[in-house]
Structure 1
Amino acid sequence: MMAKRIRTLSSALVACGLAFPATADWTMDTETSVLHFLSTKNAQVTEVHKFDDFDGSLSDAGKLMVNVDLSSVNTAIDIRNKRMQEMLFQVTKYAQATFEADLPENMMNLKDGEVMNGKVDGILTLHGKAVPTSFSIKASRVSEDILTVSTTAPTLIKAESFGLAGGVSALQKIAGLKSITTTVPVTFSVTFNQ
């Protein structure tokens, strides 16, 4: 009787395992991943900046979530970092930016060595505003447990869409600049490990 119950339980567990295959989420390799943005001041001086602290996860079903610590903005100039944290991003109130999207099924089902170009549509939440945002990307399945995703063209983020235009004006004034563009190109290259 006991052996029959164990066989029945074992069969039930095997059936559940077949019906619901084990899935392992992907996590972003924060050591090799990079997130850059450009700013242009006085109409002709363009500089490259980055965020030092961001992470993300990707489910086997393609649900992508990226979190960016806005206080980790790195412009290579300490006073400018501090001004951007306080006057532009207002990090005491809005500590993070997030991007959520669903990657297409064919992108998630790449075989080892395959590469695919495509577009990812999601929601970028920054400074309390959630705005539909798209990135043109290339996904590469490097191996069974490594997936890389990088932009194939910059995505233009408009300060006005996120209520940041006032912060840009404040930065321009305090730095004594004639202008700072309010549209910022963003690029990234990230690696996910399973």
Structure 2
Amino acid sequence: MNMQKLLISLFVISALNACGQNHQDNVATIQTQEQSATEMLSTESKLWQSTDSKITFLIGKVTPKLKSITEPAYFAKSSAQLDKDGQFSMSIDLQSVNTDIEIRNQRLKDWFFETSKFPTATVTGKLDSVAINQMKIGDILLLDQSLVLNLHGQDIDIIAPLLISRTSKNKIIVNTRHPVILDVRQMNMLNEVSKLVEGMGLSSIWEQVPIFFYGEFTTK
């Protein structure tokens, strides 16, 4: 074999080896990506936790001149968790209520929530933890969730229209698709509303209270 044919043969062999190596590299890359995706989408039961979720509500009131005013308020402190069995629990610090006006905050604490006797409210329920843990990143789950609100010593059954989205391996976001409407009659708190009406010199306060929720839950 002359030198020219030898060089050509060596070039062909080298090219074939390179192609084979590239194919192996591509296969290895795909396998690594598939393995990462499998790890990311693990359906193992998890403990999800959230602190200081955004819990807001609207206060509707009517002035003596019959002018309607809607004022937002929120709770600055709360904690929540969804355990491995799907048991959901949330504790809300009622003393953290905030309307951005201190005297109004104090009136809500003293006259409506009566935080000296009822400092916290709780929300409990059983969620479908299997469906939540099976969510892939980018998935959205819609739930009309039965929950129990304990407020002012009363247990109140509510239905929360929830939107749950998985944004990463270790994070889900839960928020209400539209507000939960609480009725002060159902909560047996008309006397507390009357205290606010009288103390604030109002004509009336709406008996229906819209509540919104947004929480970011993480797991290890």
TM tier, shorter chain? 0.7 to 0.9
Match of 2:50 in 1: 28
2:91 corresponds to: 67
SS of equivalent to 1:173: helix
Match runs of 1:1-194 below 5 Å:
24-30=46-52, 33-42=53-62, 44-104=68-128, 105-194=130-219
User: Take 1:86 and 1:56, find their aligned partners in 2: how far apart are those partners?
Assistant: 25
Which has more radius of gyration?
Answer: 2
Q: What is the CA distance between 1:61 and its match in structure 2? A: 2.4
SS at 1:161's partner residue? coil
Alignment match, 1:10: none
Shift in Å, 1:22: 7.6
Q: Percent identity?
A: 28
- Taking only aligned residues, the RMSD between alpha carbons, in angstroms, comes to 1.6
Structure 2: unaligned runs, 5 residues or longer = 1-42
Q: Deviations over 1:107-166 (max 9, x none)?
A: 342122211112111110000001111110100011111011000011101112222111
TM-score of the aligned structures, taking structure 1 as reference length: 0.84
More helix by share: 2
CA offset at residue 60 of structure 1? 2.4
2:168 is matched by which residue type in structure 1?
S
Q: Is the 8 Å Cα contact of residues 29 and 193 (structure 1) preserved in structure 2?
A: no
Number of aligned residue pairs: give it: 172
Q: Deviation digits for residues 3-41 of structure 1, max 9, x if unmatched?
A: xxxxxxxxxxxxxxxxxx9854111043xx311000111
Letter of the aligned partner of 2:113 in structure 1?
A: F
Taking structure 2 as the reference length, what is the TM-score of the superposition? 0.74
